[in-house]
Structure 1
Amino acid sequence: MTEPLPSPPPGCPAHRAAAPLYGPRFQTDPGGIYRELRAAHGPVAPVELPGGVSAWLVIGYRELQLVTSQPKLFGRDSSRWNAWPTIAQDWPLRPMMAPVPSILYTEGAEHQRRSAAITAALGAVDPYELKTYCERVADRLVDEFAGRGEADLVADYAHRMPLLVLCWMLGLDSEQVPEMIQALLDMLDGGANAQQGAQRLLAMTLELVESKRTEPGADITSRLLVHPAGLTDDEVMRDLRVLLIAGHQPTAYWITNALRLMLTDDRFAASFSGGRRSVGQALTEALWEDTPTQNFAGRWATRDTQLGGQRIAAGDLVLLGFAGANADPAVRQPNGAAAEGNHAHLSFSHGEHRCPFPAQEAAEVIAATAIEVLLDRLPDLRLAVAESALVWRPSAWVRALVALPVGFTPAATSGGVFG
């Protein structure tokens, strides 16, 4: 059994009054913690990850834009992390930090090469074909529980919808969806099965690349393999893993977070049914109020510097606090709300490593179609438990419900065909 991580030295600035990004309080009220951190430390605050690992959390809107726009000062290559000598091999969050040769950790010209290939492959997806396929998937999934009068909108719907669509976009066999969902959850929850989940995910993407190398199709994987960037099989495999994680998790929880707000917040519910906003506008509001990707790891300081009044040492881990930055009073109205129609949230990150625009468009098509079809088929959805009984996933990274149980009047199936 690996020894626990050593305690930080006395007076370590990143641990002085650091707030843990784990535990019951963070799981249930991260927004309250971000407000307390802002009041105590300003836009950049010391935090602690499980295992006593220290980091800086950027919760200032302007400061987060600065970090993501200055790659020479805050780099993406995690190999420069000054804490690696103290990090245990079986640290549950290691899969999210380890310097692997994927697009996530590339910098400069190499990142531009990989990013160009992914953006082109995503941009070639026909938006009309995507919308049609999303509608078919959503109808088929609703068919599976429409007659029951009850469902868990996380397990039965939101988890499966984006991944089924992603499987189709990447050229994957939809029969692999259940195993892939579990592998993703195991990895991202940072529990005992995190590293095993990461390995399963890599193995599944490698099988996909090998099959498309011999039998290409009209899919993202095949387009990556023939792109002029000349990606190797290993590069494509690792970048597909990034696409799966970045495409599935935020989209699935974007859907459930918006539905939760719709079911529990009368003002928000009115935006869906009152005709004042479209579902797309309501989804934008959900990103401001309850963004699925709360925090992201991260950036690493390339030299000693200052940020938001804090002294950052070379190699320090700087976490991108999207939820905290979206809640920064500097970019909110006096009443604390986001301006209607404002798309300047940071939920898709910022700078050269932000989510490619074609990926943002695809995510919104998937999320909007999922909600539109669900509301059309089951217009009297209601929460089946007290709001206080809802349980959040124990993750430093995502704001996501374990389950979203609902009730409704049993409905007929659509009679559609899925394939």
Structure 2
Amino acid sequence: MALRYPAHADAVRLYGDGFHRDPRTTYQRLRERYGAVAPVLLDDDVPAWLVLGYRELHFVAGEPNLFSKDSRLWNAWNLVPADWPLRPLVTWRDTLLSADGAEHDRHSAAVDATVSSIDLLELAARCERIADDLIDAFASEGSADLIGQYAARLPLLVGTALLALPPAQAADFTDDMAAVLGRVGDVGAAEERLRSAVRRHTAARRANPGSDPLSTLATHPAALTDDEVFDNLFMLFLLGHAKTAAWIGNALRLMLTDPRFAARLAGGRRSVEHVLDDVLWEDPPNSNALGRWATRTVQLGAQHVRPGDLVVLSVAAANADPVVRPDRAAGPGRNQAHLAFGSGPHRCPYPSQDISLVTTRAALSVLLDRLPDITLAAPASELVWQPAVFVRSLTALPVVFTPIPPPGFLPV
């Protein structure tokens, strides 16, 4: 550990099997030891400050002049390996995600207009059609992995469909986006193909705009460049896909494993809303938000944060802060004060929240309607979480159910 990070000499690692299996215990111990802000180590022992407090998270998120989204300010880049798994999340891009101030406002205006242009009723119908198609692919088997075959596929297919690409090109676009999002294969080549495709379609939509989101983004008065259009579009896919897929998967896990909800599976759509709210409090898809970089020396909680220090916002820990959850055993009820969609200028835009909700609700509702007797095919204790600190999601969710014959099937 570099000598200029003495506070992190014995910091807790936010990686490894123990942490990923039970992050709540880690957050609780950090809170007991350090209070609202704790020194931690990310993958490869890269130092950061973890904000555990509900009020402190609101403060950091709401003060972009003190805590910038510009990762070029980071004072620990020399400690980051070239193959660092979190590098794609911290690398500066000219997008809504990395900008502050007037530049953030410019990107935000274009992105907000883009997501606001999506008709939610039409989106719900599209999501249900795609969900039905995905279920059709495994319904006759009597078993499935609801992560790989369903939760991870549905948001990606919905996002691609919204771009209104020619059918012959949509499949290639989806495959390349899946490769980039999953970091599978030649990611660099896949991203270049995506950038080239988006450039072509951006030029075509500027010349002949339609009613699709890409046309809105490409022709917005903010006058985004071709690269800015791609980078913002990629950002929407990156964040939207990861969080929505995790929300679907975590909600399905809850319904299949938690007695409060498992007994009500037959309730179908009536049970869905309660499950979705509970997940945003107890198992938020974006469990930790990366990141903010201090612009000057500041006292945060009991910690002395220096210019260029990385600050990570723990949504999961803040949701469990005794300040807002003095009796966590009582459950959140209908309380909507969770931080699952962030806080401050960089919170998830409200239209994006609606899009994620519509997609997730459709995914659960259609599945429960089609496969009402679905049950977990493995002990809940054997389910494995992704080794990621920022998105809380399972690697697989194996289930069994009564097989449904394919359309047109005639029994012998």
Shift in Å at residue 84 of structure 1? 1.7
Cα shift at 1:414: 6.6
CA distance in 2, matches of 1:356, 1:302: 25
Contact 2:384 2:394 in 1 (8 A): yes
Does the CA-based 8 Å contact 2:179-2:190 persist in structure 1? no
Q: Which aligned pairs between 1:367-386 and structure 2 lie closer than 5 A?
A: 367-386=360-379
Show the counterpart of 2:66: 73
* 1:182 matched to 2:179: yes
Aligned CA distance change for structure 1 residues 57 and 202 (closer, same or farther; 3 Å): farther
- Is residue 202–residue 241 contact of structure 1 (8 Å, CA) maintained in 2? no
Partner of 1:400: 393
Q: Which residue of 2 aligns with 1:254?
A: 247
- CA displacement, residues 173-212 of structure 1 (integer Å, 9 cap, x when unaligned): 441323322321228xxxxx7xx53663354144123223
User: Which of the residues 204, 211, 218 maps onto 2:201?
Assistant: 211
Secondary structure of 1:47's partner?
strand
Identity value in percent = 48
Distance 1:27 1:59 in 2: 17
Give the Cα separation in 2 of the matches to 1:30 and 1:202: 36
Pair 1:34–1:76, CA change in 2 (3 A) = same
**Matched residue SS, 2:97:** helix
Q: CA RMSD in A?
A: 2.0
- What does residue range 121-200 of structure 1 map to in structure 2 within 5 Å? 121-172=114-165, 173-175=169-171, 176-186=173-183, 197=187, 200=190
The alignment status of 1:342 with 2:331, answered yes or no, reads no
CA contact (8 A) 1:160 1:177 kept: no
**Alpha carbons 1:45, 1:56 under 8 Å: kept:** yes
Q: Does 1:20 align with 2:16?
A: no
State which drifts further: 273-282 or 42-51.
273-282
Partners of 2:385 and 2:392 within 8 A in 1: yes
CA distance in 1, matches of 2:265, 2:300: 40
Tell me if the contact between 1:184 and 1:198 (Cα under 8 Å) persists in the aligned partners: no
Q: From 284, 292, 296, give the equivalent of 1:303.
A: 296
Deviations 1:64-103 (A, max 9, x none): 0110001111111111111123333333322211222222
Is 1:8 aligned to 2:2, yes or no? yes
Q: 1:85 aligns with which of 63, 75, 78?
A: 78
Shift of 1:280: 2.4
| Aligned match of 1:238 | 231
Structure 1: give runs of 5+ residues left out of the alignment.
Answer: 1-6, 188-192
Aligned partner letter, 1:12: P
Contact 1:73 1:301 in 2 (8 A): yes
Q: Is the 8 A contact 2:320 2:328 kept in 1?
A: no
CA contact (8 A) 2:202 2:226 kept: no
- Cα 1:351–1:158 shift into 2, 3 Å: same
Task: Note the C-alpha offset of 1:120.
Answer: 0.7
Distance (whole Å) between structure 1 residues aligned to residue 86 and residue 362 of structure 2: 33
Shift of 1:273: 4.2
Per mean C-alpha deviation after superposition, the further-off stretch among 366-375 and 382-391 is 382-391
* Deviation for aligned residue 1:11: 6.7
- Offset at 1:289? 1.0
SS in 2 for 1:151: strand
Q: Distance in 1 between matches of 2:338 and 2:348?
A: 13
1:199–1:333 distance in 2 versus 1, CA, 3 Å: farther
Q: Is the 8 A contact 2:272 2:361 kept in 1?
A: yes
CA deviations 1:274-323 (Å, max 9, x no partner) are 58964123201111111111112100011001111111111100001111
Residue ranges of structure 2 left out of the alignment (5+ in a row) = none
Does the CA-based 8 Å contact 1:164-1:174 persist in structure 2?
A: no
Q: In the superposition, relative to structure 1, how do residues 367 and 207 fare at CA in structure 2: closer, same or farther (>3 Å)?
A: same
Q: CA deviation digits over 1:103-152, x for unaligned, max 9?
A: 21111011001101111111111111101101100111111111110000
**What is the alpha-carbon distance in structure 2 between the residues aligned to residue 205 and residue 303 of structure 1?**
36
Deviations 1:199-243 (A, max 9, x none): 633541441232232254432111111111111101001001100
Code of the aligned partner of 1:178? D
- 1:201 equivalenced with 2:195 (yes/no): no
- Deviation string for 1:34-64 (max 9, x for gaps)? 1111111111111101122100011111110
| TM-score, L = length of structure 2 | 0.92
SS at match of 2:124: helix
Query: What is the match of residue 273 of structure 2?
Result: 280
SS of 2:356 mapped into structure 1: helix
Confirm or deny: 8 A CA contact 1:205 1:240 kept in the other structure: no
Task: Give the Cα separation in 2 of the matches to 1:372 and 1:42.
Answer: 40
> Equivalent residue of 1:292, what SS?
coil
Cα shift readout 1:343-389 (whole Å, capped 9, x = no counterpart): 11111111111111111000000000000000000001100011122
Equivalents in 1 of 2:262, 2:196: separation in Å? 43
Contact 1:122 1:358 in 2 (8 A): yes
Query: Equivalences for 1:56-71 in 2 at 5 Å?
Result: 56-71=49-64
1:155–1:51 CA distance, 2 compared to 1 (3 A): same
Structure 1 CA distance, aligned partners of 2:40 and 2:189?
28
Tell me how far apart the structure 1 counterparts of residues 268 and 359 of structure 2 sit (CA, whole Å).
21
Q: Which runs of 4+ in 1 moved over 4 A?
A: 270-278
Q: Is 1:54 the counterpart of 2:25 in the alignment?
A: no
